[in-house]
C-alpha cells in the first residue's frame, strides 16, 4: 500500500480547514482503509479486532448490506413523497421487532435527529418542555439534544442544565449515590422528586429520556425496578417516556432485541440510530398511534433524506441479516461467555472493580482499593491493546471504564483473543502504579 497523502499532511489540513473541535483517537492516529466483519485494516495492512464500533452492527461492509445499497442507488433515490415499497418494507421489518403498542415509524438520518423529533413529539403532545434526564446521559449534537445531555452541558464547554431540563443522579449501583440492593427504588425516588419540583414551579412534566444501559455514563445497567417505577411516575404526572436505543438497540443486548425489554416496560417513543444503517446514516423514531396522531397537528413533517429508498434498502438488509445470521443469539452467547471470563479476570485483578452489561455491550471499571477511579490505567490498556491489534475505548464520568461494544458478529475466538491480551497487559508494571 502506498499512501497518496502522508498522515502528517492529512492531520495538518484537518487542523486548518475542518471544525476545530473535531477530535482524533489515539496518541498516533490511525488511518483505516478497509473493514470486514469485526475487523478493520490500516494503511499498512495491519488487522485490528474491533470492540468499539457498534455502528458496524452486522459487521463492517457486510456484503448483503453493501449489495442492497449499491443496487438501490443505481435504480432510484428520491424522497418519501413518492410511493416506494422500500419504506414499507423497512417499517415492516422494524415493526416485527417492536411491541404492538409501538406501531408508527418516522425515518430520519441520525440519532440526534431521532431524539430531536422525539422531544418535539413530547412538546406537541403534552404541551410541556420540562424533560427529566440522566446525569452523564448523551442524546445527540443538535441544540435540543445538547440541552438534554448532561454529558455535554455538565462537561467541558458546557453551561449546566437549562431551565427546563431536570437531571437525576446517574443510577450507578456500583459507585453512585445509592449502591447495592434497593438502589433501583432509591433512584426512582430521585425521578419522583424532580416531578414534584416541576409541579411546585407550576409546570408539568413533559417527558423522561434514558438509555437502557447508559453508555456515556460508563455502561451503567439500570438497577432493578428503577425503570418500571420511573415510567409509572412520569406517566402519572402526564409525561411520556423515551427509550434511547441508539447504542444498544437491534439485538445487541442479547436477551432482548431492544434494551427497554430488559426491564419489562413499553416506552411511548423509541429512538433508533447507529446500528440500523450499519454505517449508512439512517435512524428512526417509533411511537404509539396516539403520540403520532397528536403530533400530526397540521404541520407537515418533511425530511429530505429520511426514508429514502437507498437508506430503506440498507436498513431492511441490516434487519434481515440480524435475523438470518441469528446475531441477537450470538450477542447473548458470546457476550455471556466474555462477561464470565472478565468476571474471572476480576477475581485475579482487584483493579477490576466491576464487570457489567448485557450481551455485547459490556463495561469493565477500574478502581483502587478505596473505590477511586483509575483513568490512567484504563487509558494505558486501550493504547497497549492497540499495539496488539485490538481496538478498545473508555468512557464514564471519570473515564475509568473500558467499553466493549463490537459488531455483533464478534465470535467466541475473538472474546478469547481479547481476554488473552487483557491478561497480559493487566500484568504489566504500569497497571500496579496506583
Ligand atoms: N443517543 C445516544 C445514546 C448516542 O450514543 C448518540 C451518538 N453517540 C446519539 C444519540 C446521537 O446520534 P448521532 O451521532 O447519530 O446523531
Quick one: average pLDDT of 218-244?
Answer: 98
**Residue closest to 390 by CA, chosen among 59, 55, 58, 51:** 51
Quick one: average pLDDT of 110-136?
Answer: 98
Q: Has residue 28 got a pLDDT over 90?
A: no
- What is the per-residue pLDDT for 362? 98
Q: Has residue 4 got a pLDDT over 90?
A: no
CA atoms within 13 A on the CB side of 406: 29
Q: Has residue 420 got a pLDDT over 90?
A: yes
The DSSP code sequence of 304-346 is SSTT-HHHHHHHHHHHHHHHHTTHHHHHHHHHHHHHHHHHHHH
Quick one: average pLDDT of 267-290?
Answer: 98
Quick one: average pLDDT of 317-343?
Answer: 98
Pairwise pLDDT comparison (362 vs 6), residue with the higher score: 362
**First-to-final CA distance of the chain:** 42
- What is the per-residue pLDDT for 198? 98
**Residue closest to 416 by CA, chosen among 334, 356, 355, 327:** 334
Percent of the chain with pLDDT over 70: 99
Q: How far is CA 406 from CA 57, 344, 410, in A?
A: 8, 21, 6
With left for phi above 0 and alpha for psi between -120 and 50, is residue 59 left, alpha or beta?
left
Q: How many angstroms is it from 111 CA to the middle of ligand 1?
A: 5
Over the stretch 363-400, which tens digit does the pLDDT of each residue have?
A: 999 999 999 999 999 999 999 999 999 999 999 999 99
Query: Is residue 358 within 8 Å of residue 253, measured between CB atoms?
Result: yes
- What is the per-residue pLDDT for 221? 98
The chain-wide mean pLDDT, for the chain, equals 97
Gap between the Cα atoms of 356 and 349, Å rounded: 16
Among protein residues, the one with the nearest Cα to ligand 1's atom 5 is: 247
CA atoms within 13 A on the CB side of 352: 22
Query: Is residue 27 within 8 Å of residue 292, measured between CB atoms?
Result: no
Q: Does residue 116 have its Cβ closer than 6 Å to ligand 1?
A: no
Residue 99 CB-density burial (10 A; 0-12 exposed, 13-18 middle, 19+ buried): middle
Query: Is residue 213 within 8 Å of residue 259, measured between CB atoms?
Result: yes
Over the stretch 348-357, which tens digit does the pLDDT of each residue have?
A: 999 999 999 9
Residue given cell 428503577 in the structure block: 226
Gap between the Cα atoms of 131 and 209, Å rounded: 7
Query: Is residue 148 within 8 Å of residue 112, measured between CB atoms?
Result: no
Gap between the Cα atoms of 270 and 103, Å rounded: 11
Q: 52, 136, 242, 247: which to mutate for ligand 1, most atoms within 8 A of CB? A: 247
CA atoms within 13 A on the CB side of 157: 6
Q: Does residue 151 have its Cβ closer than 6 Å to ligand 1?
A: no
- What is the per-residue pLDDT for 352? 98
**Residue closest to 316 by CA, chosen among 88, 111, 55:** 88
Q: Does residue 198 have its Cβ closer than 6 Å to ligand 1?
A: no
Q: Has residue 141 got a pLDDT over 90?
A: yes
**Residue closest to 145 by CA, chosen among 169, 110, 171, 170:** 110
Q: Does residue 139 have its Cβ closer than 6 Å to ligand 1?
A: yes
- What is the per-residue pLDDT for 26? 83
Q: Does residue 130 have its Cβ closer than 6 Å to ligand 1?
A: no
- What is the per-residue pLDDT for 3? 65
Which is the closest atom of ligand 1 to the Cα of 273?
A: 15
Which is the closest atom of ligand 1 to the Cα of 111?
A: 12
CB atoms within 10 A of CB 297: 8
Gap between the Cα atoms of 187 and 330, Å rounded: 32
Q: How many angstroms is it from 250 CA to the middle of ligand 1?
A: 15
Gap between the Cα atoms of 167 and 137, Å rounded: 9
Which is the closest atom of ligand 1 to the Cα of 137?
A: 3
Among protein residues, the one with the nearest Cα to ligand 1's atom 2 is: 139
Among protein residues, the one with the nearest Cα to ligand 1's atom 13 is: 111
**Residue closest to 275 by CA, chosen among 311, 326, 315, 307:** 315
Query: Is residue 418 within 8 Å of residue 49, measured between CB atoms?
Result: yes
Confidence at 234, pLDDT banded by 50, 70, 90: very high
Query: Is residue 207 within 8 Å of residue 131, measured between CB atoms?
Result: yes
Q: Does residue 273 have its Cβ closer than 6 Å to ligand 1?
A: yes
Q: 113, 273, 311: which to mutate for ligand 1, most atoms within 8 A of CB? A: 273
Query: Is residue 318 within 8 Å of residue 409, measured between CB atoms?
Result: no
Q: Long-range contacts made by residues 28-32, C-beta under 8 angstroms, separation at least 24?
A: 30/386, 31/3, 31/7
Which is the closest atom of ligand 1 to the Cα of 141?
A: 16
The DSSP secondary-structure symbol of 280 reads B
Confidence at 276, pLDDT banded by 50, 70, 90: very high
Angle of CA points 15, 19, 22, to nearest 5°: 80
Over the stretch 150-195, which tens digit does the pLDDT of each residue have?
A: 999 999 999 999 999 999 999 999 999 999 899 999 999 999 999 9
Q: Does residue 53 have its Cβ closer than 6 Å to ligand 1?
A: no
Q: Does residue 192 have its Cβ closer than 6 Å to ligand 1?
A: no
Over the stretch 36-87, which tens digit does the pLDDT of each residue have?
A: 999 999 999 999 999 999 999 999 999 999 999 999 999 999 999 999 999 9
Q: Long-range contacts made by residues 228-231, C-beta under 8 angstroms, separation at least 24?
A: 228/263, 228/264, 228/265, 229/184, 229/185, 229/188, 229/191, 230/187, 230/188, 230/191, 230/192, 231/265, 231/267
Confidence at 1, pLDDT banded by 50, 70, 90: low
ipTM: 0.99
Query: Is residue 178 within 8 Å of residue 283, measured between CB atoms?
Result: no
Gap between the Cα atoms of 231 and 236, Å rounded: 8
Among protein residues, the one with the nearest Cα to ligand 1's atom 10 is: 139
- What is the per-residue pLDDT for 415? 98
Amino acid at each position: 500500500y502506498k499512501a497518496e497523502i502522508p498522515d502528517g499532511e492529512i492531520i495538518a489540513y484537518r487542523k486548518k480547514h475542518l471544525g476545530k473541535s473535531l477530535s482524533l483517537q489515539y496518541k498516533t492516529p490511525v488511518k483505516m482503509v478497509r473493514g470486514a466483519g469485526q475487523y478493520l485494516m490500516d494503511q499498512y495492512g495491519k488487522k485490528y479486532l474491533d470492540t468499539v464500533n457498534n455502528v458496524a452492527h452486522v459487521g463492517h461492509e457486510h456484503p448483503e448490506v453493501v449489495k442492497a445499497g449499491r443496487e438501490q442507488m443505481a435504480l432510484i433515490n428520491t424522497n418519501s413523497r413518492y410511493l416506494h415499497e422500500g419504506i414499507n418494507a423497512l417499517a415492516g421489518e422494524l415493526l416485527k421487532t417492536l411491541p404492538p403498542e409501538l406501531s408508527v415509524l418516522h425515518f430520519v438520518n441520525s440519532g440526534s435527529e431521532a431524539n430531536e423529533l422525539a422531544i418535539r413529539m413530547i412538546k406537541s403532545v403534552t404541551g410541556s418542555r420540562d424533560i427529566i434526564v440522566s446525569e452523564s446521559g448523551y442524546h445527540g449534537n443538535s441544540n435540543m439534544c445538547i440541552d438534554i445531555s448532561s454529558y455535554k452541558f455538565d462537561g467541558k464547554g458546557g453551561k449546566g442544565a437549562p431551565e427546563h431540563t431536570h437531571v437525576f443522579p446517574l443510577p450507578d449501583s456500583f459507585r453512585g449515590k445509592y449502591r447495592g440492593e434497593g438502589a433501583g427504588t432509591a433512584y426512582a425516588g430521585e425521578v419522583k422528586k424532580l416531578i414534584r419540583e416541576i409541579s411546585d414551579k407550576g409546570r408539568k412534566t413533559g417527558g423522561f429520556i434514558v438509555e437502557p444501559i447508559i453508555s456515556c455514563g460508563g455502561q451503567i445497567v439500570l438497577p432493578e425496578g428503577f425503570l418500571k417505577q420511573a415510567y409509572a411516575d412520569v406517566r402519572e404526572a402526564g409525561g411520556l417516556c423515551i427509550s434511547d436505543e441508539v447504542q444498544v438497540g437491534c439485538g445487541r443486548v442479547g436477551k432482548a432485541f431492544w434494551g427497554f425489554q430488559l426491564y419489562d416496560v413499553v416506552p411511548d417513543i423509541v429512538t433508533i440510530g447507529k446500528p440500523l444503517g450499519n454505517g449508512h446514516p439512517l435512524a428512526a423514531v417509533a411511537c404509539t398511534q396516539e403520540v403520532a396522531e397528536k403530533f400530526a397537528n397540521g404541520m407537515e413533517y418533511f425530511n429530505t433524506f429520511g426514508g429514502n429508498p437507498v437508506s430503506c434498502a440498507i436498513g431492511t438488509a441490516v434487519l434481515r441479516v440480524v435475523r438470518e445470521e441469528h446475531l441477537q443469539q450470538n450477542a447473548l452467547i458470546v457476550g455471556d461467555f466474555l462477561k464470565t471470563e472478565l468476571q474471572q479476570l476480576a477475581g485475579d485483578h482487584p483493579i477490576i472493580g466491576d464487570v457489567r452489561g448485557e450481551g455485547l455491550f459490556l463495561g469493565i471499571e477500574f478502581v483502587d482499593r478505596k473505590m477511586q477511579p483509575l483513568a490512567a490505567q484504563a487509558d494505558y490498556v486501550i493504547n497497549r491493546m492497540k499495539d496488539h491489534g485490538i481496538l478498545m475505548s473508555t468512557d464514564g464520568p471519570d473515564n475509568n471504564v473500558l467499553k466493549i461494544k463490537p459488531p455483533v458478529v464478534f465470535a467466541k475466538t475473538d472474546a478469547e483473543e481479547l481476554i488473552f491480551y487483557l491478561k497480559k497487559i493487566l500484568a504489566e508494571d504500569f497497571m500496579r502504579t496506583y
